Amino acid sequence: MTCPKIFVLLSLSVLLAAATAAPPVTLRQAADKAGILVGAAVRPSLFSEPAYSATLAREFNMVEPEDAMKWWVVRRDADTFDFRQGDEIVAFAQAHGMRVRGHCLVWDHNNPEWLARGHFGTDQMSQLLQQHIIRVMQHYAGQVFAWDVVNEALDEDGRFKDSPWYNRPGIGLAGKGSAYVEQAFRWAHQADPKALLFYNEAEAEGLNGKSDAVYAMVKDFKIRGVPIDGVGLQMHIPGLDFDTSQISPNIKRLTALGLQVHVTELDVSLPIGSGGSFSKDDLQRQAEIYRAIVRACVENPGCTAIQTWGFTDKYSWIGSHSHGTRGGALPFDRLYQPKPAYEAMLEEIARRSSR
Ligand code: 9MR
């Protein structure tokens, strides 16, 4: 009588061990297991394409609007707020159990014409920005868990860029460095005290003058109690000779301040060969860059999200930006097939879950 019971128990435990040891087969499964977010920037107009939606929902547990929550989409004129595109993204995410990351509330680029040419004074600009941050964040409160409050405020040398919000004409804090950034974070915290607030920057992935300036600014914010929760490191990697060795130390020093880091816009563009194809060597080298970046994130516990800028090579900003000379920057090819970069991401995220 006892033998069959033991046999059943043994078989069950063997089955259980096999099930728990089974490697995750999608990025999303690996990320869920690792307790990390893996996301993609999305365009809601593409949700109607079955392969786009299916791949997105299967592989990612987070989405971010590539453009749908930017000023030029939300604010076609000074008096209206158009949330339709952003709402579509939130609805998609809710239907598939995904988190939504918001992008972006303050940027010198891609503001609507009426704002750029409005000849507003600093008081009006200040009112416009405060009203925008409050309306947009309150609309998405409880739906968008984290925001890029300010995007790309610094130039390559770490100086504050000219911007309608800083000094052209600015919100009244021109010449005062990070004061306008601080003001935006304070308004954002008032608007939705539960949202995580990020400063998002380009070309500040490794250790360089620009990342030093980001570090100095956010350290000062932390010391003075400015409400900031994290730094977004974009990671648009422009060449296959990119030195990835400085990324982990940079993430380490930022997270040591008690901030989270999100990798927010990862892509690694390739030169397009004759016939529009990519060499096997380039795809392999690209995968190694993806691997190094994902590893730099997962080995630092404060790095809590990894997001690619799009996910299929069929739709990526790189094509038009490079006038067709570069492409292939994302983990899925134009037919939604996983590339070596995808396998590298999966392996590195799965390594964290197997710790
Ligand atoms: O990929 C985005 C592209 O569709 C837009 O035309 C462009 C201007 O709004 O912005 C691109 O996304 C940028 C992001 O918002 C901020 N970091 C750099 C990204 C690539 O330019």
Mind listing the pLDDT tens digit for each residue in 270-307? Answer: 999 878 889 999 999 999 999 999 999 999 999 999 99
- Pairing state between β 260-268 and 236-237: parallel
**Atom 3 of ligand 1, nearest CA residue:** 317
**Atom 12 of ligand 1, nearest CA residue:** 66
Residue 315 has pLDDT above 80, yes or no: yes
User: What is the dihedral sign for C-alpha 99, 33, 249, 266?
Assistant: negative
Q: Average pLDDT of 219-239?
A: 98
Question: Is the separation of the CB atoms in 80 and 139 below 8 Å?
Answer: no
User: What is the dihedral sign for C-alpha 240, 243, 249, 255?
Assistant: negative
For the chain, where are the E strands, in sequence order?
37-42, 62-65, 99-106, 144-151, 196-201, 230-233, 236-237, 260-268, 270-271, 303-308, 326-327
Higher pLDDT, 324 or 102: 102
Reply yes or no on whether 265 is catalytic: yes
Question: What is the atom index within ligand 1 of the atom nearest the CA of 310?
Answer: 1
Q: Which structure tokens are listed for 264?
A: 């927010």
Q: Which structure tokens are listed for 111?
A: 């503001």
**Atom 8 of ligand 1, nearest CA residue:** 110
Residue 181 Cα, ligand 1 centroid: separation in angstroms? 20
Q: Average pLDDT of 184-203?
A: 99
Q: What value does the mean pLDDT of the chain take?
A: 94
CA distances 351 to 31, 93, 222, 315, Å, are 10, 26, 32, 29
Name the 3-class secondary structure at 271.
Answer: strand
Residue 66 Cα, ligand 1 centroid: separation in angstroms? 7
For 210-301, where are the E strands, in sequence order?
230-233, 236-237, 260-268, 270-271
Domain boundaries, the chain: 25-353
My answer on whether omega of the bond before 297 falls inside 30° of 0, hence cis, is no
Question: Is the separation of the CB atoms in 259 and 302 below 8 Å?
Answer: yes
Q: Average pLDDT of 244-254?
A: 98
**Catalytic site residue from 66, 205, 265, 348:** 265
pLDDT tens profile 11-58:
555 455 544 556 779 999 999 999 999 999 999 999 999 999 999 999
| pTM, to two decimals | 0.94
Reply yes or no on whether 156 is catalytic: no
Name the 3-class secondary structure at 128.
Answer: helix
Ligand 1 pocket mutation pick from 161, 317, 322 by most atoms within 8 angstroms of CB: 317
Euclidean distance between CA atoms 75 and 235, whole angstroms: 28
Q: What is the percentage of the chain residues whose pLDDT exceeds 70? A: 93
CA distances 341 to 202, 275, 280, 287, 312, Å, are 21, 21, 12, 4, 12
Residue 4 has pLDDT above 90, yes or no: no
Euclidean distance between CA atoms 287 and 333, whole angstroms: 13
Q: What angle do CA 201, 202, 206 make, to 5 degrees?
A: 100
**Catalytic site residue from 152, 182, 203, 205:** 152
pLDDT at position 277: 86
Question: Is the separation of the CB atoms in 69 and 102 below 8 Å?
Answer: yes
CA distances 176 to 56, 89, 100, 170, 302, Å, are 42, 36, 33, 11, 30
pLDDT at position 355: 52
Residue 6 Cα, ligand 1 centroid: separation in angstroms? 61
> Closest Cα partner for 148 from 74, 210, 221, 202?
202
Euclidean distance between CA atoms 38 and 344, whole angstroms: 14
Residue 1 Cα, ligand 1 centroid: separation in angstroms? 69
Residues whose CB is less than 8 angstroms from the CB of residue 199 and which lie 6 or more positions away in sequence, other chains included: 148, 149, 150, 153, 181, 185, 214, 217, 218, 228, 230, 231, 232
Euclidean distance between CA atoms 93 and 15, whole angstroms: 33
pLDDT at position 274: 79
Euclidean distance between CA atoms 155 and 209, whole angstroms: 10
Residue 321 Cα, ligand 1 centroid: separation in angstroms? 10
Question: What is the atom index within ligand 1 of the atom nearest the CA of 202?
Answer: 17
- Other residues' Cβ atoms within 10 Å of the Cβ of residue 140: 22
Q: Confidence band (pLDDT; 50, 70, 90) for 2?
A: very low
Q: Which fold would CATH assign to domain 25-353?
A: TIM Barrel (3.20.20)
Q: Please state the length of the chain.
A: 355
User: Residue 28 is inside which H or E element, if any?
Assistant: helix 27-34
Ligand 1, residues at Cβ distance < 6 Å: 66-67, 70, 109-110, 151, 202, 234, 265, 317
Ligand 1 pocket mutation pick from 42, 45, 46, 67 by most atoms within 8 angstroms of CB: 67
Residue 237 Cα, ligand 1 centroid: separation in angstroms? 14
